[in-house]
Amino acid sequence: MTVYAIAGATGQLGRKALDDLLTRVDPTDVVALARDPAKLVDYAEQGVAVRLADYDAPATLTAALAGVDNLLLISGNAVGARVAQHGAVIDAAKAAGVSFIAYTSILHADESPIGLAQEHRDTEALIVASGIPHALLRNTWYMENYTGSLAPALQFGVISGAAGDGRIAAATRADLGAAAAAVLADGITGVHELAGDSAFTMGDFAAEVAAQSGKPVAYVNMTQADYQAQLEGVGLPGFIAAMVADSSFQTSTGALFDDSGALSALIGRPTATYQQAIAAALAV
């Protein structure tokens, strides 16, 4: 019997991965890790073992990983603290005798110019150094990063950014979660560059929103500095505005493009397109 665990199971990607894993293996072979186990009562009712695991409290991690064979470590969201947090999970996995670890990294982590990539590179290095057989799930940007802000786009008729004509091979959390579950269930080692089958520019995206909504929406490209200032102007904290503006600018250099087809191969279906994602977002 193999025991599968997901760390970060309470998150938006984690729930997608957990749902997909439960279509592949028996719930009683699944451990969902959470710093607040109460968030997963619905899964506990299905027979999933829900255990306390706080990346900032290493003692909880040792107990949480007891008996686990295959672990999916979903990267945390505390930017700046993540290498230490992930390192604590990897150390605990090693101590618990975990035999396979999959980690959600960033697209082309080894060469990505995006500032956020550094913590992923450092985490990947810790995983490699641990000697545990592993999979690096180098996830593209979520489609939801773009479809999540359609309301202001429709209100003001503008989507702004610093992405230029960079092609974006985004993918939905549902597709990336399914890929993570597939890799976890089958223990598929290696580097997986996971991106959408097709790519769009921000201009394509705005044009599609306009076409589907019947309202005028255009993409306005800005310099990275101007975009950062605009984000700060609408209330984003400085470091988040800097992070978003950096990621947007690096998109213009091709940082979010990939055409390996590895994601659709893993999930056994074409990835959701931006046209489908926009239609789904406009329908709610």
Ligand X SMILES: NC(=O)c1ccc[n+]([C@@H]2O[C@H](COP(=O)([O-])OP(=O)(O)OC[C@H]3O[C@@H](n4cnc5c(N)ncnc54)[C@H](OP(=O)(O)O)[C@@H]3O)[C@@H](O)[C@H]2O)c1
* Residue from 54, 49, 57 nearest 8 by CA: 54
Nearer to ligand X, 74 or 278 (CB): 74
Whole-number Cα distances in Å, 162 to 90, 125, 148, 260: 36, 30, 18, 25
Q: How far is the CB of 82 from ligand X (least distance, A)?
A: 7
Write out the DSSP string of 236-261.
Answer: --HHHHHHHHHHHHHHTTTTT-----
Sole window of 52-60, 199-207, 228-236, 250-258 interacting with ligand X (rule: CB under 6 A): 52-60
Could you tell me the two tokens for 38?
Answer: 């109460």
- Does residue number 74 form part of the binding site for ligand X (CB under 6 A)? yes
Residue 45: count of CB within 10 angstroms of its CB: 10
Would residue 70 be called left, alpha or beta, if left means φ above 0 and alpha means ψ between -120 and 50 degrees? beta
Nearest distance from residue 27's CB to ligand X, in Å? 19
Q: Which of 3, 5, 10, 262 binds ligand X (CB under 6 A)?
A: 10
Mask: binding to ligand X, 89-128, rule CB under 6 A, as x and -?
A: ---------------x------------------------
Of 59, 78, 279, 282, the one binding ligand X (CB under 6 A) is 78
Determine the interface stretch with ligand X among 63-71, 129-137, 140-148, 160-168 (rule: CB under 6 A).
Answer: 140-148
Q: Which residue is nearest to ligand X (CB)?
A: 11
Minimum distance from residue 133 beta carbon to ligand X (Å): 22
Q: Residue 203 and residue 186: Cα distance in Å, rounded?
A: 39
Q: Which residue reads 């180098």 in tokens?
A: 138
- The angle subtended at Cα 137 by Cα 167 and Cα 120, nearest 5°, is 85
Q: Which of 6, 51, 85, 194 binds ligand X (CB under 6 A)?
A: 85
Task: For residue 250, state whether it binds ligand X (rule: CB under 6 A).
Answer: no
Residue 36 touching ligand X (CB under 6 A) = yes
In angstroms, the Cα distances linking 147 to 39, 161, 210, 272, 275 are: 25, 14, 13, 13, 10
Residue with Cβ nearer ligand X (8 or 166) = 8
Q: Does 13 bind ligand X (CB under 6 A)?
A: yes
List, in order, residues 6 or more apart from 43 with CB less than 8 Å away: 9, 18, 27, 32, 50
Residues lying near ligand X in the complex (CB under 6 A) are found at 8, 10-14, 35-36, 39, 53-56, 74-78, 85, 104, 139, 141-142, 145
